[in-house]
Amino acid sequence: MSAKIDDVINNSNEIVTITKRLKELIEDEEQTALGIAFGRIYNAFHYQTRRVLKRDATEEEFKEFVEILSKRADKIKSALQKHINEKI
């Protein structure tokens, strides 16, 4: 999960490109970008669990995932904000 979170942080410009192109359709670019980032990370967690373990995550595994994500949320948000504030 740490590698996927790093990937989202390092490629946050891709997420912001999406939100900037769709700005007429969204009310809050920052919150939308954060939602996309979290969605990418959750998707990786969900599909890795299914692929590797061949089952859904347990409640304990999900709680651990949320804990890991919450510890890195500020860094994810900061990376996104950096690109949101840039001009395209």
Residue 86: predicted pLDDT: 83
Total tally of structural domains belonging to the chain:
1
Residue 88 has pLDDT above 80, yes or no: no
Closest listed residue to residue 30, CA positions, set 71, 69, 72, 79: 79
pLDDT tens-digit profile of 25-57?
999 999 999 999 999 999 999 999 999 999 999
Half-sphere exposure (CA, 13 Å, Cβ side) for 50?
6
Q: What is the mean pLDDT of residues 13-35?
A: 94
Q: Are the beta carbons of 41 and 8 closer than 8 angstroms?
A: yes
Q: pTM, whole model, 2 decimals?
A: 0.89
Q: Determine the number of helices (DSSP H) and then strands (DSSP E) in the chain.
A: 4, 0
Q: Are the beta carbons of 68 and 1 closer than 8 angstroms?
A: yes
Residue 22: predicted pLDDT: 92
Under DSSP, the state recorded for 1 is -
Range of the domain at 72: 2-84
